[in-house]
Structure 1
Amino acid sequence: MASVLCPVPAFAASGIEAIMPVMDEFIPMLIAFILLWIILAKFGWPLFDKMLVKRETTIKDSLEKSEEARQESERVLAEYKRELADAKTTAAQIVADAKTAGEAAKADITAQAQKEAADMIAKAQQAIEAEKKAAIEELQGSIADTSIAVASKLIGSDLSDDEHRKLIERYVNEAGSFNAN
């Protein structure tokens, strides 16, 4: 009942015994612990250290390789961007050259068409002029013949046919020169 009324001393007595090892067991455990520590320090720790060093080396190599790969990818990306910019510049130059060539071809075709049109107009004007002259000459000839026939009926045969023709041609030429002005 004393342990119920005063639990701390009772716990203290049983608690110390729980923490403190029994001396009959402590010495063999201490010897086993020291032997185990010596064996591990002699054989286990170097293996463990080698494994840690190997792991550290592997991680360092992996980091270096990844850094090299990153630098290589950045170099390739920069080269790709440069080539893309060069390709864009080249494409823009090709388009500009094509536009220039197209405009030059357009100008040549337009100039050639205008020249051909001017030549056709000049030929047409020459043909019109030639037709006009031919029509005027034909008209003058028919007027002369008609005038000779009319004059010979009115005047009689006093003048020869050649004289009538010369007289009428002179009047027609004078009349034609009045129309020309």
Structure 2
Amino acid sequence: MIEMDLGNIIAAMINFLILLFIAKRYLFKPVNKILNTRKQELDSSFEKARMDKEEANKLKIENGEKLKLAKKEGKEIVEIYKQKAEKMSSELIEDARQEATLIIERSRVEIEREAEKAQSEIKKQVIDLSLILSEKALEQHIDEKEHRRLIEDFISKVGS
């Protein structure tokens, strides 16, 4: 059986207390210091990560809003240019219509002028032919001025 000697027990206790003091002073304090430092570094890293995550979320929201705003501005710009293009198209079409109307009017006036000119030429030729015909028919020479007046009166009565 094991004998228990009070001297051994007291010596073991003193040895234990000395070992505990040495371990506490040279082992526990540095280890606790290292552990506390590491804990602070981890806490700091976690805090920084949390702040970075919050900042990233804030930037994500801001970027989403900026993207929406950019899309809206893009649509507005496209709509403005679309309206400008439609306006230009309408103006070009209206200008073309006005030009076509002007060309048609000029052509109509020119046609009327040509018709009047042709009628006048025909009238002159009819008078000349009538003069020649009447001279031959009467075998006499009537004053040309008088003859023209008579023929013009006749043509105006017939033409009306």
**What TM-score comes out, normalization by structure 2 length?**
0.85
Aligned twin of 1:75: 58
* CA distance, structure 1, for counterparts of residue 71 and residue 108 of structure 2: 54
Q: Answer yes or no: is 1:86 the counterpart of 2:69.
A: yes
Q: SS where residue 109 of structure 1 aligns? A: helix
Q: Answer yes or no: is 1:153 the counterpart of 2:136.
A: yes
Tell me the alpha carbon deviations over residues 110-151 of structure 1, each in whole angstroms, 9 at most, x when there is no partner: 111111111111111111111111110000000110011112
Aligned twin of 2:39: 56
Q: SS where residue 140 of structure 2 aligns? A: coil
Aligned twin of 2:111: 128
- Residues 99-118 of structure 1: pairs in structure 2 closer than 5 A: 99-118=82-101
Q: Which runs of 5+ in 2 are unaligned?
A: none
Aligned twin of 2:26: 43
Q: Which runs of 5+ in 1 are unaligned?
A: 1-19
Picking from 59, 65, 75, the partner of 2:48 is: 65
* CA distance, structure 2, for counterparts of residue 34 and residue 141 of structure 1: 154
* CA distance, structure 1, for counterparts of residue 155 and residue 92 of structure 2: 48
Q: Which amino acid aligns with 2:153?
A: R
* CA distance, structure 1, for counterparts of residue 44 and residue 80 of structure 2: 53
Tell me the alpha carbon deviations over residues 68-105 of structure 1, each in whole angstroms, 9 at most, x when there is no partner: 11111112222222221121111111111111111111
Once the two structures are TM-superposed, the CA of residue 43 in structure 1 deviates from its matched residue by 3.2
Once the two structures are TM-superposed, the CA of residue 174 in structure 1 deviates from its matched residue by 2.9
Aligned twin of 1:15: none
**What TM-score comes out, normalization by structure 1 length?**
0.76
Q: Which amino acid aligns with 2:107?
A: A
Q: Which amino acid aligns with 2:23?
A: L
* CA distance, structure 1, for counterparts of residue 75 and residue 91 of structure 2: 24
Picking from 134, 146, 150, the partner of 1:163 is: 146
Whose Rg is larger? 1
Q: Which amino acid aligns with 1:157?
A: Q
Q: Which moved more, 1:166-175 or 1:59-68?
A: 166-175
* CA distance, structure 1, for counterparts of residue 17 and residue 146 of structure 2: 166
- Aligned-residue CA RMSD (Å): 2.4
Once the two structures are TM-superposed, the CA of residue 27 in structure 1 deviates from its matched residue by 7.7
* CA distance, structure 1, for counterparts of residue 141 and residue 69 of structure 2: 101
